Every structure is written in structure tokens, then in C-alpha cells.
Amino acid sequence: MRNIGPLIRFAFLSLLTSAAAPYAEAQAQRPHPVADTRIPSDRVQVVLIKNALIALNHANVSGNYTVLRDLCSPQLRERQKASDLTLAFRDTHDRSRDLSFVLTMNPIPAQSPMFSTDGRLRLVGYFPTRPQELHYDLTFLKTAKGDWWIDGIVIRSQQPAIANRPRNPVR
């Protein structure tokens, strides 16, 4: 009985470890963004753009933004509930804006792809639809597994600006 100090220390460490286990397990399961700042190929960029916009289209058509939210980064899911996305895209939903045409068109970049200081890939461009163009500003996070998660979607329709615009679609 004189030497119970190590036993108490062991019991305390066991308690501390078991209390921290759920947190550590949740952190281990959560995909973390990686610091890989290599710009993805043009084809991968097209896939990212079209997947994000089609996911938004499905959410708009169904009125259910849960799947769109599930395709987003854990950081975005922590910031936004599905009901927040419903409100954010209400105008697109209410105007019945059909985005399915993006499957048949190639996007045109408005600026070069870039990474932010926190590792988010930003893709900005438009689809040359008429009478209005669909402009997008999308951000993505790459996981350690190499998957890309949507981290931001901004879309808007606007009249085409004719002067000084690149017309080379990403292929």
C-alpha cells in the first residue's frame, strides 16, 4: 500500500485517455485539408466545377440542400446548416434557374486558378450562355486522401461583356 502513487497516476492517465478518446477518434476520422498547392489539371478543374454546380442544381430542383451540404468541407458544414444553404440559394431556386446545361458546355476561366494562404483552391469563370452568362466563384479543399470538397459556391447571372474577354474554354 505504500507505493500507490504509480497506480493513481496510471488510473488518472487511463481516465484522461478514455475521456480524450472520442475527441481524438473524431479528429482522426475528419479529413484534414493538405498543403498540396499544385494546381489540378484542366480536366480535374472542369470536373470540380461541373460537380459543384450540378450538386447545387440538384439541391435547387429538389429543394433539399442536405446532400449539397454533405459534399462540402467539414469546415463549411460547421459554418452552415442545410437551412442556411436553402436561404443562401433561395433566389436561384425561386427563379427555377436550371444549371444542368453545364454538363454540355465547357467553362471559361475568368482568372487563373489559385490557392489561398489557407490552402483553398479558387476557380473563377463563367459559362457563355445566352441571354445571360452564368458566372461562378468556387472554392475547394483537398483532403489527405486526394479528394476535393466544396468549400464555397457563389453564382450569378449577368449580361455578357464583349470586350477583352478570353473565349478559350477549359477542356
Please give the DSSP secondary-structure letter assigned to residue 166. -
Range list of β-strands (E), the chain:
108-109, 114-115, 121-127, 133-142, 148-158
What pTM, to 2 d.p., does this model score?
0.72
- The span from the CA of 35 to the CA of 102, in Å, is 30
Q: CA quadruple 113, 151, 143, 169: dihedral positive or negative?
A: negative
**For 52-92, what is each residue's pLDDT tens digit?**
999 999 998 888 888 889 899 998 888 888 888 878 888 77
Q: Where are the domains of the chain?
A: 1-30, 32-158
Q: Which fold has domain 32-158?
A: Nuclear Transport Factor 2; Chain: A, (3.10.450)
**For 105-140, what is each residue's pLDDT tens digit?**
999 999 999 999 989 999 999 999 888 899 999 999
CA distances to 6, 7, 99 from 10, rounded to whole Å, are 6, 5, 60
Place of cell 461541373: 50
Contact in structure between 143 and 33 (CB atoms under 8 Å): yes
